[in-house]
Amino acid sequence: MAAPEEDSVFTGIVEELGEVVALQELGDAARLTVRGPLVANGAARGDSIAVNGVCLTVTEASAGTFTADVMGETLRRTGLGALAPGGAVNLERPLRLDGRLGGHLVQGHVDGTGTITARRPAPRWEVVRIGMPPGLLRYIVLKGSVAVDGISLTVSATGAAAGREDDPGRDGWFEVSLIPETLERTTLGRKQPGDSVNLEVDMIAKYVEKLLGAGARS
């Protein structure tokens, strides 16, 4: 199941490209088993691991694999329900108190899914454009941070459908530039236009919005 009650925090620096072993449907939930020898090493029941940016709680770990239950809300809000055996997933363990913050603060609480709409190769990197659902565009800023399938990335361009700039219901898109290391070590090196990705916007932007809203009402 997802673990919103825990205080686990991630950085968006993928540690390992894991492989889906099984996804067992359990009515309004599912049980996901992933092979990831690095992150599964030392994992115990109750530990947190981010799978494609979704914070999950380990229910079982052995022989380089771990299992987690995924509740219905998580299946509806993320792309985990579309995973299939053999598929690749990004894996990251929580940030340790003595660890380095290599990316940005990521909670593992996905805000919604986006769709890759285009890929443009460049001499030493690749530009990927991602369409995003209404309501999230206002949290995306040029040179700001966003987590895509759990990967901490910097926004290199943004755009929106025609309409009022203050309309929260407008569709939008953003672009990220991926270096060879990211292409090789994460799922974004494999995904193509039409594929879905999990999105988590910068938590600081959401806190600022709430504080400004509270200030305006006081």
Task: Note the pTM of the prediction, 2 decimals.
Answer: 0.88
pLDDT in tens, 158-181: 998 655 555 555 579 999 999 999
pLDDT in tens, 47-90: 999 999 999 999 999 999 999 999 999 999 999 999 999 999 99
DSSP per-residue codes, the chain: -B-TTS---B-S---EEEEEEEEEE-SSEEEEEEE-HHHHTT--TT-EEEETTEEEEEEEEETTEEEEEEEHHHHHHSSGGG--TT-EEEEEPPPPTTS---S--B-S---EEEEEEEEEE-SS-EEEEEEE-TTSGGG--TT-EEEETTEEEEEEEEEE-SS-TT-TT--EEEEEEE-HHHHHHSGGGT--TT-EEEEEE-HHHHHHHHHHHHHHH-
Q: How confident is the model at residue 126 (pLDDT cuts 50, 70, 90)?
A: very high
